[in-house]
Each structure stands twice: as structure tokens, then as C-alpha cells.
Structure 1
Amino acid sequence: MKRQDFYYELPEELIAQDPLEDRSSSRLLVLNKQSGAVSHHTFREITDYLKEGDCLVINDTKVIPARLIGSKVGTDAKIEVLLLKRKENNVWETLVKPGKKAKVGAKISFGDGLLIGEVVDIVEEGNRLIQFTYDGIFEEILDQLGQMPLPPYITHQLEDKNRYQTVYATHTGSAAAPTAGLHFTPELLRQVEEMGVDIARVTLHVGLGTFRPVKVDEITDHHMHSEFFQIDEEAAEKINCTKERGGRVICVGTTSCRTVESAADENGHLEAKSGWTEIFIYPGYQFKVLDGLITNFHLPESTLIMLVSALAGREPVLAAYEEAVQQRYRFFSFGDAMLIL
């Protein structure tokens, strides 16, 4: 299967630059995975498609303000650092721009010395390991100095950091938001629960590898970066009970989907567990847990559009995307949503 098989034309003006004032007022395209039929709604009408006995799986990861702008000690050259993965002893794997100014031993000052980073190693694909020194609590300093690591296709400044967080974000650790969850408000979630829908919380810390473009022609040659996930006893039990009684498991976002599919055994049974996943879902994959998916519209030729195509078929998905373009839906992180059932 070729990367080019997942290409579609997208006018640049349809890339959403700002979140909507009301999260749940975004549009919702519903795609029937059996028939390929498409219908158009508002996101809060999601309740028309959920029913008692269903289980909604949400990813409660929290995005860290991982983008730091600093200056190189000694030359004052501007350096941008993006925190990717926390290691031990205040060391982080990072993406540094420009990389040529960040050789091993280089020191970078952030916030007039409030935070100092020293490049201690260079790892795969030119990422830097940086060891940080500071006084106080790292998370508080990061909250003060860091910016939200918005994807490169969003060029507007984000006025409110919380708009790149879901309303249920709890466990800090993501370099990007699980954006399908951005459409939910506390009121809408309450309404869903009152309908008799179980809500299972799982955690997957989204890495930037999720957005890394597929560069190989043959998609099976693409290697996914690993991301940390966690499923506790309560979530595993809710999902297993739903399957046992014939209810539907509907994942909010590709990250929730990848979490439950990574953790399930061949029979779709989940145990409480945590670990790292490199799961790459593309057409031909047999879903073990998931019955439905709430997701945003994804970049052409991305691993995410491949995952969606595994669930509903490549041609129906591309036809739905084409209709979304014609109907002037908003695309990507701050864009509109799609429900596949």
C-alpha cells in the first residue's frame, strides 16, 4: 500500500487557525462504516449517536507548555527547544532549532537564567538530550516560561493555553493535544453520562512522532515512534464489561484507539497495564476493542488518516474528506470532528 493512496487536496484556508468560542459548536460529519453514507451535524448532537450501554474512551493526558525560547550562553544566539520525552536526572529528549548551535556542551539560558539547559548528548534524528538546572519546581517554571507546542500549520498565537487542553486533561506529559477531545465541554460529558454511557479514562502521552510525516513510499516501511500509555483497573473493567454485555466501545481520538488496541489481547480483553506502544494501524488491521471513533480531520498521507481508513475503508474515508472540503469544514487540530460508527 502506497503513501500516495492517502493523499487528498486541501485548500489552505480550511486549516483551522483558532479554536471556536464554544467547543461543542464545531461541526460533526458522521460516516457509516458499513454503507459509507455521510451526514452533517453539530458536535453536541453526538448524543443522538450514543446509547445506554456504550463506553466512551477518553485520553486524559495533559499537554505541557513544551516550547521554550532561550539564548545560547556566551553568544546570546536565539535557540528554540521543544521538550519531547522526560528521562532521568532532569534530562529531556528535545528537538532544538537551529541544531547546529546546540553541540554537546552548549548551555542555553531561559527566562534570564531561571532555567539553564546543557546539551549532554545527540540521539537519533539529531534530537538533543538536555539536562536542566533550576531552583524550585520544574513544572511551575515550565508553566511560567513555556509556550504550547502548537503544530506548524497553526500560525496564530494561542491566547488561552487551556484551549489546547481537553476539559478532562489530568496527567501531564504530552507534546501535543489529543485533539478529538477538544470538542467536549463538562456539560456535554455530564449529559453523555446521564444517558447511561460509561466513560473510561486512559492515558497516552502524545509525542510529536504522531505528526511525523510518512516519508517512505511503501507505508509498511514506516516506523512509529514510541509513546507511553497507561490503563488502570477501573478503565479496563469498564471496557471489558461493555464488550461482554454487547455494548459499543467508542474511542475519542486516535490516541485512545491506539491505547486500547495496544493493551488488548487477541480476544479484545484488557488488563490494567502501562508501557510503550509503537502500534501502527493501517488498512487490513483487525480492531480488537474499538467499535466506533470520534476524530478530527487529519493531514494527507499521515499515519492518522491511515488509521481512520483501517476502520472505515480508504475509499469511503477519502470520499467523506472530499465532501468535508466541499462543505467547507475546518481541518486539523482546531478543526471540526468526524464520527465513524
Structure 2
Amino acid sequence: MKTSDFHYDLPQELIAQAPLPERSASRLLHVPPGDACFADLHVRDLPSLLRAGDLLVFNDTKVIPARLFGAKATGGRVEILIERLLPGNEARAQLGVSKPPQPGSRIALDAGGEAEVLARFDDGFWQLRFQVEGPLEAWLQHAGQLPLPPYIERRPDAADAERYQTVFARETGAVAAPTAGLHFDEPLLAALRERGVQTGHVTLHVGAGTFQPVRVDDVHNHRMHSEWINVGAELVSQVRRTRAAGGRVIAVGTTVVRALESALVDGELRPFAGDTSIFIFPGYRIRSIDALMTNFHLPESTLLMLVSAFAGKQRMFAAYEHAVRERYRFFSYGDAMLLWPGEGESGSGDLR
């Protein structure tokens, strides 16, 4: 299986550069199982596709202002994208710099203070220690810049501070939003409650590695970056009650799928907190969910591979072809799909 097998052509103008004024006004492509026809709907129509007793699972991670700028002692400019906050005002980060700094060197930060370079890892990430006023997480709230994805070709503005967060974000630690959740607003959540649809939460702190391309030709040789997850006991109980009552579990976003699949033990969901580097691609049988709501993903990306594993590659690419033809908006601030599992999608995946 080649990375190039997951390529598709996307007109540049279909990449959403800003959110719509209303979260739930985004379009929703309904992709039923089998050969049933696609339906062009809107996210606000989601309650009509679900039934009482179903469980929607959200990722409640909260995006931190993780992008910083500074300069080396030599004057060379440095862009810092924090991947993960660590104890002692340290962080794991990506550095955008013309010449890599040496361990022990310091970066003067434009927002004040400095960062000491501690180490560079084989995966290209760096470990930094920050000398700033107060705890790093609190300092970033006023000193950092929201890390919009690289395909959004503008600087973040005041509106992004609200719109690049879900309305249920509560656990600080992500450097990218769980974008399927961005479509939900209070009126939609109220409509779902009225329908009898339940909601639950997991946490997966999306890391900077989510923007890294697959750099190998053979998909099996790709190694995922590690991300921290928490699948709590309450969510596990909700899933069990839903299943016992005949309800369906619907993941809102690929991050939820990765969290739930990582918490399976012998096919049963168990509470789990820790790191995951699970890589889901066709041949892996996703067992933890019955449906998936997700945005449209980049060509040749691991997320496109994941949704292809769930709905079937042929079915998925037909849906993407339909979306391009119908001028859907793509990626983080774009439209969404509701997917049901493809027939015969089974096998074993790669958990590292």
C-alpha cells in the first residue's frame, strides 16, 4: 500500500480560509453504507440522522496559543511551535530556523524572556526550557499566537481565538483543534438533547506532528507521532450503557477514533490515560464506533487513511470526488461528512 494511493486533486480555492459566521451552517455530506446515494445536507441536520439513545463522543481538548517568535544570539530568526507542555516550564517543540541551534544556546523571545535549547530528538523535535514570567501555560495565553494550520494563508485574528476552539473545550494541551467539533454550537447541542442523543468526552491533545506529511512511499513504514489521551471511566460506562440499550456510538472526529481504539483491550473499551501513536489505515478494523463525523482531510494524509479504513477506500474516494464536484469547503474551517462503516472492512492495524 503506497502513500500515493491516497492522493486526490483539490482545487486551491476549496481550502477554507475562514469559518462561516455560524458553526452549524457548514455543509454535511452524508455517506451511508453500501452503495446508497450521498446526501448533501447541513450540520444542523445532524439530529435527523441520529436517534434517541445514540451517543456522540467529542474531544474536549483545548488549543493553546503555541506559536512563538524569537532570535538566536547570532541574530537569526526562529519560529517556535510548541508540541507539548512539560514540567518545569519545559516544552517539546518544532523550530523553524535556517541553521539549527546548538544545545545550551538561547533564543530571545519577541514576547519577552528566553528559551534555552536543551536537546534535539531524532524525530526533528526539540526540548526547550522557558524563562518567562510565571508558569509557561499561563504566559502563553497572552504571549503566544494561535497556531492556525499551514494551509490557512493568513495570520490569526481575534475571531480565531473563539472559532478555532470547540464550545466544549476544557482540557488545555492541544496545538491544533479537533476540527469536526468546531461545527457544534449551543442550538445544535440543544437540538440533539431534545432528540434524545447523549454526549460524552475523551481527551486527545492534538500535537504539532499532525501537520507533518507522510514521508515514506510504503504506508507500513510510517511512524506516527505520539499524543496524550484520556479515556475516562465515565465515558467507558456511557459507551457500555449505550451498547446495552441498542444505541450507536458516533465519534466526532478522527482524534476520538484514535483515542477509543487505543483504549481497547481484547476488544473491550477500558479506561486509559497515557500516550498513543496508533496508526489506522485500510486493513485495520475499527471496532469502537458505529459512525464517524469528520472534516475533509489532506491528500496522502494519515487522517484520510483512517477514514478510508472505516468507510472503505473506494467509497471514501467517491465521496471526495463528489465533494470536490459540489464545491464543498475543505480542511479545518471547512465542511463535514457523516460516515458509516464500509462492508467487509476488517483485518489488523498497526499499534505502536
Is this a same-fold pair by TM over 0.5? yes
Please tell me the residue identity of whatever aligns with 1:336. D
Please give the residue correspondences for 1:99-114 in structure 2 after superposition, counting only pairs within 5 Å: 100-111=99-110, 113=112
Matched, 1:14 2:10: no
Larger CA deviation: 82-91 vs 46-55: 82-91
How much does 1:220 deviate? 1.1
Contact 2:29 2:337 in 1 (8 A): yes
Which position in structure 1 is the counterpart of 2:339? Answer: 340
How much does 1:53 deviate? 0.9
Which position in structure 2 is the counterpart of 1:66? Answer: 66
Please give the residue correspondences for 1:78-97 in structure 2 after superposition, counting only pairs within 5 Å: 78-97=77-96
Name the SS of the counterpart of 2:310 in structure 1: helix
| C-alpha separation in 1, matches of 2:218 and 2:120 | 29
Please give the residue correspondences for 1:204-223 in structure 2 after superposition, counting only pairs within 5 Å: 204-223=204-223
Please tell me the residue identity of whatever aligns with 2:205. H
Name the SS of the counterpart of 1:124 in structure 2: coil
Which position in structure 2 is the counterpart of 1:321? Answer: 320
Matched, 1:126 2:152: no
Name the SS of the counterpart of 1:260 in structure 2: helix
Name the SS of the counterpart of 2:123 in structure 1: helix
Q: 1:118 to 1:26 in 2, by over 3 A?
A: same
Contact 1:110 1:145 in 2 (8 A): no
**1:177-197 deviation line (CA, Å, top 9, x unaligned):** 100000000221122122211
Contact 2:248 2:290 in 1 (8 A): yes
Which position in structure 1 is the counterpart of 2:202? Answer: 202
Name the SS of the counterpart of 2:258 in structure 1: helix
Aligned with residue 157 of structure 1, among 155, 158, 164: 155
Which position in structure 2 is the counterpart of 1:300? Answer: 299
Please tell me the residue identity of whatever aligns with 2:142. Q
Q: 1:245 to 1:99 in 2, by over 3 A?
A: farther
| C-alpha separation in 2, matches of 1:212 and 1:36 | 34
Could you list the runs of 4 or more consecutive aligned residues of structure 1 that deviate by over 4 angstroms after TM superposition?
none
Q: 1:36 to 1:227 in 2, by over 3 A?
A: farther
Matched, 1:254 2:243: no
Name the SS of the counterpart of 2:94 in structure 1: strand
Contact 2:204 2:230 in 1 (8 A): yes
Name the SS of the counterpart of 1:317 in structure 2: helix
| C-alpha separation in 2, matches of 1:169 and 1:297 | 21
How much does 1:5 deviate? 1.3
| C-alpha separation in 2, matches of 1:89 and 1:141 | 13
Contact 1:59 1:255 in 2 (8 A): yes
Please tell me the residue identity of whatever aligns with 2:15. I
How much does 1:111 deviate? 4.0
Which position in structure 1 is the counterpart of 2:350? Answer: none
Contact 2:145 2:156 in 1 (8 A): no
Please tell me the residue identity of whatever aligns with 1:226. S
Contact 2:56 2:197 in 1 (8 A): yes
How much does 1:225 deviate? 1.0
| C-alpha separation in 2, matches of 1:234 and 1:227 | 21
How much does 1:112 deviate? 5.2
Which position in structure 2 is the counterpart of 1:27? Answer: 27
Structure 1: gaps spanning 5 or more residues? none
- Per the normalisation by structure 2, the TM-score is 0.92
How much does 1:104 deviate? 1.4
Contact 2:111 2:143 in 1 (8 A): no
Name the SS of the counterpart of 2:70 in structure 1: strand
How much does 1:205 deviate? 0.5
Name the SS of the counterpart of 1:45 in structure 2: helix
| C-alpha separation in 1, matches of 2:156 and 2:338 | 26
Structure 2: gaps spanning 5 or more residues? 341-352
Please tell me the residue identity of whatever aligns with 2:226. S
Larger CA deviation: 99-108 vs 54-63: 99-108
Q: 1:339 to 1:112 in 2, by over 3 A?
A: closer
Contact 1:266 1:288 in 2 (8 A): no
**1:105-159 deviation line (CA, Å, top 9, x unaligned):** 221222453x321101111233221101122232232011111111111112222
| C-alpha separation in 2, matches of 1:89 and 1:250 | 38
Which position in structure 2 is the counterpart of 1:142? Answer: 140
